[in-house]
Structure 1
């Protein structure tokens, strides 16, 4: 491994302390401009290029890992969204990034083969029904968009980034997809459209049961690393 790969693949839970006042400032990919292009392989070795979707389909990218509780919590809902919106020119991908809570069973990545194996476990353990893309060992795609563990991005079929969130939220996202696809239908019928831009910051309660389940899967170190960063929660959460 080179220095960049070692730096990206932290060996313990790396909590943002304190959480940024504006998480959007930590995400280099900006809404309204061309999204960073990328190329990555699926679990079966198929090469996917963002440019291949230009003019054809919108692309949804959700980041995650087998040790990410937030990813595990959102997968069932995103499986459903994938099923519903695939016929409306929307392609879903899960970008496998780095371990959120590396521990005994799923340590930080030291090789691409190990990362691929972890991604396959995520697919099986959480029943991910849409394609998983495996990022490079140094997290090239992740770093170009924003290195949150369960971030969400949408690239319009014209190539622009039109949605980003540091955390996936299926309820909010369903409304966005409904609006996006309804606008396309309206435009095709020649109706007048207005351009909306919005930003918001909101708190969401973490799902304790999912966090506990994913920490147990990762190994005892996941609990200890978390409690080291959040000592007030020792033996009470998750």
Structure 2
């Protein structure tokens, strides 16, 4: 559920909880939808520059992705976004909207100043080789709240601010492929059109595969955030914490494969336990 900018304490939560996680499962009813327009907001960039959303689009579609250094889902999707920007640089612009910390910890607490938030955004760019610009959103998430206060959502807008399509998770590879095909098929149009009857692909809220992919990055990301982040995941979402720790056992696999391997292993183990109990 989107929070009002007049509610900064709830927006800038200091501790992760199941309530926070529950709000990340779907777009809220208040979220801007495809066909609606983002205003031409002034934005501050991590490099210290100032511009506006429409200037950042520069006559092309603009893909905005929300994220933070403590969000495993964001970390898991950086490579795909780098590739998209490099492959279609002539036809699309990409920007990260650095928002509130998803899992604040001792090393990356919830920022209390724009200086702190900018420092986090800069470190995120450097640590993960982010090759596209980062917007540092205001402390109370002015842009984030227009997009919906999700940790790693993605929004493709036309150069005039109209939202074309959006995804609950940037790591939704199928949605990114749809965006790639859309941009290519429309040949660099400032306002690409959703194809297909009824524009059925305008909103994606797929959860399973993006989540399993992100789970493979969870252990390292939360440890980087600080022990508080892991403790609060254990208390707030024990099954997710177990998946994270199980995925970490598959360190011989690429990060993006670990979550699925962990989920399969946990399912097999649970099946064996149930079978043994039944036989007993």
1:39 equivalent in alignment to 2:46: no
- TM-score under structure 2 length normalisation: 0.74
Match of 1:162 among 133, 153, 164: 164
Deviation at 1:178, TM superposition (A): 3.0
Whether the aligned pair in 1 keeps the contact of 2:36 and 2:162 (CA below 8 Å) is: yes
Distance of 1:71 and 1:156 partners within structure 2? 23
- TM-score under structure 1 length normalisation: 0.85
In the alignment, which residue of structure 1 is the partner of 2:33? 30
Match of 1:197 among 199, 205, 213: 199
Matches within 5 A, 1:118-133: 118-133=120-135
Whether the aligned pair in 1 keeps the contact of 2:71 and 2:102 (CA below 8 Å) is: yes
Higher relative contact order (CA 8 A, sep 6+): 1
Q: Is the partner of 2:28 in helix, strand or coil?
A: helix
In the alignment, which residue of structure 2 is the partner of 1:77? 80
Deviation at 1:195, TM superposition (A): 6.3
Offset from partner CA, 1:116-169 (integer Å, 9 cap, x none): 111111011111110011000110000111111001001112431011112113
1:51 equivalent in alignment to 2:26: no
Structure 1 gaps of 5+ residues are 188-192
In the alignment, which residue of structure 2 is the partner of 1:190? none
Matches within 5 A, 1:98-137: 98-137=100-139
- When residues 153 and 16 of structure 1 are mapped into structure 2, their CA distance, relative to the original with a 3 A threshold, is farther
Whether the aligned pair in 1 keeps the contact of 2:34 and 2:165 (CA below 8 Å) is: yes
Aligned residues: 231
- When residues 22 and 128 of structure 1 are mapped into structure 2, their CA distance, relative to the original with a 3 A threshold, is closer
Structure with higher Rg: it is 2
Compare 41-50 and 211-220 and name the one that shifted more. 41-50
In the alignment, which residue of structure 1 is the partner of 2:71? 68
Deviation at 1:225, TM superposition (A): 0.5
1:214 equivalent in alignment to 2:216: no
Distance of 1:12 and 1:233 partners within structure 2? 16
- When residues 11 and 22 of structure 1 are mapped into structure 2, their CA distance, relative to the original with a 3 A threshold, is closer
Deviation at 1:231, TM superposition (A): 3.0
Structure 2 gaps of 5+ residues are 190-194, 246-280
Distance of 2:90 and 2:188 partners within structure 1? 17
Compare 223-232 and 121-130 and name the one that shifted more. 223-232
User: Which of the pair is proportionally richer in helix?
Assistant: 2
Distance of 2:25 and 2:225 partners within structure 1? 30
Distance of 1:207 and 1:175 partners within structure 2? 18
After superposition, the CA RMSD in angstroms is 2.7
Offset from partner CA, 1:78-101 (integer Å, 9 cap, x none): 11111011112x110000000000
1:171 equivalent in alignment to 2:178: no
